[in-house]
Amino acid sequence: MSAHAVSANVPSADVRLFEVGPRDGLQNETTLLSVDQKVALIERLVLAGARDIEIGSFVHPRWVPQMAETGEVAARLTSDPGTRFWALVPNPIGLERAIDAGVKHVAVFLSSSETHNQNNLNRTIAESLANLEDACRLARAEHMMVRAYVSTVFGCPFEGQVDFARVLEICARLLDFGAFQVSLGDTTGVGKPYQVREGCRLALEAFGPEAVALHLHDTQGLALANSLLAYEVGVRHFDSAVAGMGGCPYAPGAAGNVSTEDLVNLFEAMGLDTAYDLDAVCATARWLNEETGIAPRSRYFAYWGAHHPQQVP
C-alpha cells in the first residue's frame, strides 16, 4: 500500500465519520468477499467521500476467516493525502503483519468487561493492556498512527451494566500508550440515549473532543438517537458501516453498526457537513447488495431505493 505520512492533512468537516464496514461490517457477515470485491468496495467508499476507512484486520484467519486476505487488500490500495486506510491489530504479532503489509494506521482493541474480554480475546483486561502497551510502543517506533476501541462501554451481554469509571480508566491508559483517539463501543447496541449522552460527556470532559469517538450498533433502533445526543454534548467523531453491516458474535440478536447513510442523512438534515456524497454512499450499498447479496439495513437506503429504482437491462 502506498501510504502517506501520519501527519497528512485530512479535509475538515463539521462531523467526521470513520468507515468500519470493510472490517467490522464484513467480519460479522456470512458472505465471504474476494480481494477484488473488497478493493472495489473500499474504492467506492473513497469516491463517496470516506476519508478514514478500516480496510480489514490482522487477526488470525482461523478466528476471522473474512479478514484472511487483508494484506493483499492493503497492497492493492493507493492512499492520497486526504485518505487514511486503517487495519485492526490484536497484538504485537498482528502489528508486525500490518507493518509488513505497509499499513501506516492501525487500531487496537479490548473490552471494558472482564467476561467479554475473556470471551473475545482470551485474556484479562490487565493482560490485554500489557499486550497493547507493547503494540503501541512498536507502532510509535514505526511512526504509525494508533486508534483504540473500547468495547461494551454501555452494557455487556454477560455482566450487564459496566462501571463507567473503569471505562475512563482504560481509555486513559490507551491514550497514555500513544493512541490518538479512543472509540467508545456500544458493542451490543444496548446503550440508552441519556446513558450514552452522560458517558460521552464524561469522556469529553476527561480527554477532549479530538480524542473521543463513538461506535454504535443499532440493535434496539436507538443508534441515531444516541448519535444525536452525543453530538449535542460535543462528540464530533462517529464510526459507521455502509449498509449497516455487522453484528456481534457474543451477543445473540445484536444488530449491525449504525449505517453510514443514516448518519450522513441525520447530520446533513441538521445542516452539518460530513464530506460525504449521500447518493454515492447509497449507490455503494446497492452495489454491495447486487455483488454479494448483503442486504442494506438502513432506513435511509429504503427511502433512497424507492426514489432511485434499479435499472433493468
| CA torsion, ordered 161, 163, 164, 167, to nearest 10 deg | -110
Q: Can you list the domains of the chain with their CATH numbers?
A: 16-307 (3.20.20.70)
pTM for the model stands at: 0.94
Quickly list DSSP for 87-111: EE-SSHHHHHHHHHTT--EEEEEEE
For the cut 50, the answer to whether the pLDDT of residue 4 exceeds it is no
Name the residues annotated as catalytic: 248
pLDDT of residue 299: 96
The answer to whether 146 and 139 have CB atoms below 8 angstroms apart is yes
Nearest to 179 by CA among 106, 81, 124, 85: 106
pLDDT tens column, 135-181? 999 999 999 999 999 999 999 999 999 999 999 999 999 999 999 99
pLDDT tens column, 231-279? 999 999 999 999 999 977 666 667 899 999 999 999 999 999 999 999 9
The two most distant CA atoms of the chain are separated, in Å, by 57
